[in-house]
Amino acid sequence: MLILLNIKHCNTITYVKISVVNIILYFLVFSLLIYSCTTQQTIVTNLPNYTVEQQGRAQRPTVLLFQDPGCRLNDSISNYLNKTGYNVLRITKQTESIEVQNSDHKERRGYEGVELYNELATQFNIKALASTGLEIHGSIPWFVNTPVQTLFFYNYYPGSLQDHILSSMGKNVNVFPMYMEEYPAAELFELLSKYPPPSGKISSYPIRYVHSIWQEDPKSYLGMNEREVRFFRIY
């Protein structure tokens, strides 16, 4: 195969011979690059209040990443999991409707989480579960009841949210520096001490959900757990 090139500065015609083998190699390399690119698409499920975004290739082992919408490291965490070989399904609950805000609770999220897991397990090879921020409190109780052996948790603080709020009061610091909004510790403690909890939201979470989890240490659910469990403190 001959390609004719005109080179103006020397007024000559140069013939560049490219072998068929080289063309095939270039085509194969290009195809591999296209195949290896990360794909992103929306996955439709039977739970309309949840958005599921796929980041990666479905052929890979899959991790379900339940995201705290206010966590500004979600993208970095998802990219890291993707680079370590996982197909990442980024899962976020939508809490804009009044109905969702009034019914949100850690137990409800547990039922919904199991339903999502069962549905997605028919399409993907789920090998790990992960969650970020306040999502951890609602996910650990049902994570440990699945056959998945690898769990990743990206937590804001050790222990319970109540202990974290009291610690923030003693230090006179903002409870959630990772959120765009400020939440003074004393006001937050008073708000979550009310029963029944009022309507409203703390960042992206209904107050009723936060009230249902604020006194619990997520690690207490792990017990004599034999899974691979990793906690990564962020912020």
Answer whether residue 7 shows pLDDT above 80: no
> Is the confidence at residue 78, as pLDDT, over 80?
yes
One domain for residues 33 and 44 = no
pLDDT at 23 over 70: no
pLDDT tens per residue across span 82-127: 999 999 999 999 998 888 888 999 999 999 999 999 999 999 999 9
Return the amino acid letter for 134. Answer: L
Q: Pairing relation of β-strands 201-202 and 205-206?
A: antiparallel
The total domain count for the chain is 2
What is the average pLDDT score of the chain? 85
Q: How confident is the model at residue 38 (pLDDT cuts 50, 70, 90)?
A: low
The token pair at 69 is 């919408």
Is the confidence at residue 162, as pLDDT, over 80?
yes
- Whether residue 164 sits in one domain with residue 79: yes
Q: What burial class does residue 107 get, using C-beta atoms within 10 Å of its C-beta: 0-12 exposed, 13-18 middle, 19+ buried?
A: exposed
Residues paired with residue 66 on neighbouring β-strands, in sequence order: 91, 131
Is the domain of 107 the same as that of 32? no
Q: Does residue 9 have a pLDDT over 50?
A: no
- Whether 224 has a pLDDT exceeding 80, the answer reads no
Residue 222, pLDDT score: 82
Residues 74 and 27 in one domain: no
- Any idea what the CATH number is for the domain that residue 210 is in? 3.40.50.1820
How far apart are the C-alpha atoms of 195 and 90, rounded to whole Å?
33
Cα separation, 45 vs 145, whole angstroms: 21
Residues 6+ apart with CB under 8 A from 28: none
Together in a domain, 101 and 133: yes
Predicted confidence (pLDDT) at residue 158 exceeds the cutoff of 70 = yes
Please tell me whether the overall predicted TM-score, pTM, comes out greater than 0.85 for this model.
no
Does 60 share its domain with 146? yes
- Tell me, yes or no, whether 27 and 118 share the same domain: no
Same domain? 26 vs 139: no
pLDDT of residue 102: 87
Q: What is the DSSP letter of 196?
A: S
Same domain, yes or no, for 207 and 136?
yes
Domain residue limits at 82: 39-233
Q: What are phi and psi of 5, to 5 degrees?
A: -115, 130
Residue-level pLDDT at 30: 43
Q: What is the predicted pLDDT for the residue at 19?
A: 53
Predicted confidence band of residue 192 (pLDDT cuts 50, 70, 90)? very high
Q: What percent of the chain has pLDDT over 90?
A: 64
pLDDT the model gives residue 180: 86
Based on the fold, state whether residues 151 and 196 are members of the same structural domain. yes
Same domain, 8 and 83: no
State both tokens at 16.
Answer: 């560049």
Q: Do 22 and 118 sit in the same domain of this protein?
A: no
